[in-house]
Chain A
Amino acid sequence: MRGLATLQRYREDLSRDWPQTSGNLMVGLTLALVTLPQAVAFSVTLAGVPPHFGIYAAIWGVLFCAMLNPSRVFHGGPNTAMSATIGVTLLPVAPPFGAEYMGYALTLGLLCGLIQMMFYVVRPLGRMLDLVSEPVINGMICGIGLFLIFKSLTTFGGLPINTEVEWPLWIAWQSFLAVLEIGNLHAIQIGLVTLVTCVIVQQVPRMRNWAILVGIAAGTLYSEYLHYALGAQVSLIEKIGNLSSIGLVMPSLPLFTQEAMPDIIAILPGAVTLALLGLFQTVAAMRRMNRKAGGFTDSRKAIFSDATSNCLLPFLSSLPTCASFNRMWLVHRLGSHSRLAIVSSALWLLLLVLFLAPLIAAMPMPAMAAIIMLLGANMINWEDIKPHFKDRREAVVFVASFLSVLFLDLFGAVIVGSVLAIAYSKWEQAHPNISLNGNVLKIRGNLYYGSLPVIEAMYHRAIARDDSVVIDFSECFYIDQEGIRWLAAAKAAQKVRLEDRRHSDDRRAIERRAAADGKRRTGRRSARNDRRKRSEF
């Protein structure tokens, strides 16, 4: 039945999106062309595996996610942070690019998928992922945008990439100086041609979807010109290189032998980090981009789609997948809200790799780096950041998670940002609005272990002044066990009368008055009809 319903939904999607098919196909092609350099770059330079790992992730990972995830802007595939985590985790275990290393990479992917499946099966675990708030996500997005720019600097200058884990800001500065001092000027020219062409084409509304394509084409043409004018010996331009060995499917098996067990146990913490990183990004990106696109998708569905994909991908020689902020951003910016575009991006990429490998091989890496830098710059959008600076708390959370991306890492950013956000909301709850009118102590807010000391201070001041105190908690919307015990103890002291007007005649009077006010308020009130509060008394 469920399968039928899914099919039905696909059919609906398809019939709705059909009129814009050509547009969607175009977006798909752009996406494929944007994903390709990222896939190659992430797998080779970050994860330490051959380029086909990333390309298969960009084909099968995207396809699986598009099939399983009902969100219309979700774009899976290889991911910066995940690829980097793979590289860092496996570095002590085996030499990169070797057969063993690739086996471990697949094992790591499978472990990551299984751990993510646990997040789907155990509901509260999955719900925990929702505690990442919007300022945290936006801070992360800006951080990642800046990070992408820094990361592509060396490729932009035709220099080898720094792969060691060091302080990223320092690396960025060093890379910038290195590009200035020893960069390959031909590579820089190609990068600049690509960048400027892209930006100019972007300004023409009708050509916007084509900007990246045109940019890469210009860069490639210029690089070919340099190649023929000066020769490869002089121009020294790095290109994507030969992809012709890649077929439709390349089956593979993760490494699970007796001898490998100690190493597999050693990479388990890495697998947990990988799984969490993937899910955090997926949930965060989904929430952010769905809101932008004006939709909603249950994050559990995203968790399920990620977990299933990551359990399957290691058998197709592919890196693990998760949501990609920058590509989802692109899907949104190209104005396409359709899964057709996303499915077609995977198919386009497959076709490109199968039939146009020689053409892709000619694309220069500096042009790719320029595109990634542009994407990074586009992710930092003042319009999205501005609202966070209106409230000091949000600003602090935003800045903290932004800086944490640069000073710690993505995982650190999530932890720092979330802890701050949760701390702020707890702080807020721990300071209820208390007023003392005569001998009536009125509490508006939460009555729980955190706010009790504040309330108690006021209560004791009141009881020292007057003989009897009325505690009015009719506007408390949450009372925990400790609060109940305290109220009971206060009541037992005889001097205290508890007042919950909802149970008295007053409440009926209020409701009658509210009913007279109009339906708007009563509708809300009666619908909310505090089940929890009544159950406690």
Chain B
Amino acid sequence: MSTLGWKIGKVAVLVVALGGLYALAVAKQLEREDIRQSPVVLTPACAEKLAKYGLVAGATYQSPYLLKHTGMAVATTGYTEDDVRAIQRGCNIIDDTQGRQAQSVAEERWNATRFIRGSHVSCNHCHQGVGDKQDAEGNRLLGSLSLGASWVMADMYDRFTGLLLPFELRQMQCYINSSNGYKPNIADDLIRDVTAYTRFLSAALGLQIGVSYEEQGVDEIPASHTGKQGDDYIRGEAIYRAKCQHCHGAQGHGIEVNGHLIGPAVAGPNSWNMQSRNYFYYVATILPGFICRNMPLGAENTLTNQECRDIAYFISNLPRPAGDKQGPLVALQQQALMRIMPPLLRLTDAAMERKHPEPRQAPAAAR
């Protein structure tokens, strides 16, 4: 009798526990459904971008951008209210992945921070102009990593591994490597809304499916496109100190003032990891291309190819997190370097300053 009671008790506990979890799941899903149905508070950049592209619910959609640039009035299948909200949320995620401008990251950004280590990375840092960087005339820019152009090549073969990567998996690579984080489930709203936004971008820009547009990626800078002086750490450091340091910090750890991000980290714990293709020792041509086309903000295309390679070489030599494939030893080493080096460097810098109070003025004074 007691064994029977024991068994019934055991099963009852299990059933209650599983039932509780099921109830929790139902509650969580209802909560998600609520968020999907509620109106979206757009970030300023998104409000401007989506207004410019005339995103409203309706039976057909007509792109103002296309009308202005080609003179053609092309009507495509329109968007439902649900679609519009998904596109708006997607735009918000691209513009402000960390939810710095949101009331609640969980509700407005689908918990995006859960999948990102560090507090700096936002999609917008690489995919500038909320994934659609244009000049004053509205021309799409070379080397801007345009998301609309990315969607029309949605499932593409990876250049480096030869694997067929669905669009969602390409997004996951961003989460794993560029934000040094974890990938969301492929069915997560976080992925779906960003996909919705990129699809909308390609429709608004009138891009053709299957066409490889140049602005999808970065025009890469191999060593052969330079004066062939070799990539130089010292030169790179000098240029970095002169042109990058005041936003990205002396150690490349980024600058944050009162919770406001001045410049994101390009090295250190908040940066991309060693498995990212922005890492010079993995792919040596992409980061220089990105720097030449997109940096410094407001003065793009002012650096020479050689300078871009030097800067890329320099910041890739600063310690940064290891990726999945580097193994635990490299990961430990990098973590140690990231923690130990900055205070040591600050110490030596302070010592140098005491010794030579104004090193830059010294040669002038001698002269």
Q: Which residues of A contact B (CB under 8 A)?
A: 91-92, 94-96, 154, 159-160, 162, 164-166, 170-171, 174-175, 177-183, 185, 188-189, 192, 195-196, 199-200, 203, 408
Whether B188 contacts A178 by the Cβ 8 Å rule is yes
Contact mask B9-44 → A, CB, 8 Å, 1/0? 011001100100110111011001000000000000
- Among the listed A91, A179, A180, which residue makes an inter-chain contact with B163, where contact means beta carbons less than 8 Å apart? A91
Whether A160 contacts B187 by the Cβ 8 Å rule is yes
**Interface residue stretch chosen among B68-76, B178-186, B311-319, B337-345:** B178-186
- Which residues from A are CB-within-8-Å of B14? 196, 199
- Among the listed B11, B22, B25, B186, which residue makes an inter-chain contact with A203, where contact means beta carbons less than 8 Å apart? B11
Whether A188 contacts B15 by the Cβ 8 Å rule is no
Q: Which residues of B contact A (CB under 8 A)?
A: 7, 10-11, 14-15, 18, 21-22, 24-26, 28-29, 32, 114-115, 161-164, 172, 176, 182-189, 324, 328
7 A–B contacts from the bound complex (CB under 8 Å):
A95-B163, A95-B164, A96-B163, A182-B29, A183-B29, A196-B11, A199-B11
B44 to chain A, nearest CB (A): 29
Whether B7 contacts A181 by the Cβ 8 Å rule is no
Whether B25 contacts A166 by the Cβ 8 Å rule is no
In the bound assembly, the distance between CA atoms of A166 and B184 in angstroms comes to 12
- Which residues from A are CB-within-8-Å of B328? 408
Beyond known contacts A182-B187, A185-B29, A192-B18: 7 more, CB 8 A cutoff: A94-B162, A164-B324, A170-B182, A174-B182, A196-B11, A199-B14, A408-B328
If A95-B164, A166-B324 touch, whether A196 touches B185 (CB-CB below 8 Å) is: no
In the bound assembly, the distance between CA atoms of A175 and B115 in angstroms comes to 12
- Which residues from B are CB-within-8-Å of A408? 328
- Which residues from A are CB-within-8-Å of B11? 196, 199-200, 203
Whether A91 contacts B182 by the Cβ 8 Å rule is no
Whether B185 contacts A180 by the Cβ 8 Å rule is no
- Among the listed A94, A162, A180, A183, which residue makes an inter-chain contact with B183, where contact means beta carbons less than 8 Å apart? A162
- Which residues from A are CB-within-8-Å of B182? 166, 170-171, 174
Whether B29 contacts A196 by the Cβ 8 Å rule is no
If A91-B161, A185-B25 touch, whether A203 touches B187 (CB-CB below 8 Å) is: no
- Which residues from B are CB-within-8-Å of A188? 22, 25
- Among the listed B21, B22, B163, B185, which residue makes an inter-chain contact with A178, where contact means beta carbons less than 8 Å apart? B185
- Which residues from B are CB-within-8-Å of A95? 162-164
In the bound assembly, the distance between CA atoms of A290 and B189 in angstroms comes to 49
A83 to chain B, nearest CB (A): 18
- Among the listed A154, A164, A181, A203, which residue makes an inter-chain contact with B29, where contact means beta carbons less than 8 Å apart? A181
Which of B18, B22, B187 is packed against the most chain A CB atoms within 10 Å? B187
B227 to chain A, nearest CB (A): 35
In the bound assembly, the distance between CA atoms of A373 and B38 in angstroms comes to 37
- Which residues from B are CB-within-8-Å of A164? 172, 176, 183, 324
- Which residues from B are CB-within-8-Å of A160? 185-187
Q: From B192, which residue of chain A is reached at the shortest CB distance?
A: A182
B190 to chain A, nearest CB (A): 10
Q: From A407, which residue of chain B is reached at the shortest CB distance?
A: B328
Whether A162 contacts B164 by the Cβ 8 Å rule is no
- Which residues from A are CB-within-8-Å of B176? 164, 166
- Which residues from A are CB-within-8-Å of B22? 188-189, 192
In the bound assembly, the distance between CA atoms of A338 and B18 in angstroms comes to 36
- Among the listed B18, B28, B172, which residue makes an inter-chain contact with A180, where contact means beta carbons less than 8 Å apart? B28
Whether A181 contacts B32 by the Cβ 8 Å rule is yes
Whether A185 contacts B185 by the Cβ 8 Å rule is no
Q: From A171, which residue of chain B is reached at the shortest CB distance?
A: B182
B54 to chain A, nearest CB (A): 31
- Which residues from A are CB-within-8-Å of B25? 179-181, 183, 185, 188
In the bound assembly, the distance between CA atoms of A457 and B53 in angstroms comes to 86
A412 to chain B, nearest CB (A): 9
Whether A203 contacts B161 by the Cβ 8 Å rule is no
In the bound assembly, the distance between CA atoms of A24 and B145 in angstroms comes to 63
Whether B7 contacts A203 by the Cβ 8 Å rule is yes
Whether A159 contacts B164 by the Cβ 8 Å rule is no
- Which residues from B are CB-within-8-Å of A179? 25
In the bound assembly, the distance between CA atoms of A309 and B206 in angstroms comes to 58
- Which residues from A are CB-within-8-Å of B24? 180
B304 to chain A, nearest CB (A): 35
- Among the listed B21, B183, B185, which residue makes an inter-chain contact with A182, where contact means beta carbons less than 8 Å apart? B185
B2 to chain A, nearest CB (A): 14
- Which residues from B are CB-within-8-Å of A180? 21, 24-25, 28-29
A277 to chain B, nearest CB (A): 18
- Which residues from B are CB-within-8-Å of A183? 25, 29
If A181-B32, A192-B18 touch, whether A92 touches B187 (CB-CB below 8 Å) is: no
Q: From B158, which residue of chain A is reached at the shortest CB distance?
A: A95
If A165-B324, A166-B182, A192-B22 touch, whether A182 touches B189 (CB-CB below 8 Å) is: yes
Q: From A178, which residue of chain B is reached at the shortest CB distance?
A: B185
Whether B324 contacts A181 by the Cβ 8 Å rule is no
Which of A91, A170, A175, A180 is packed against the most chain B CB atoms within 10 Å? A180
In the bound assembly, the distance between CA atoms of A185 and B23 in angstroms comes to 10
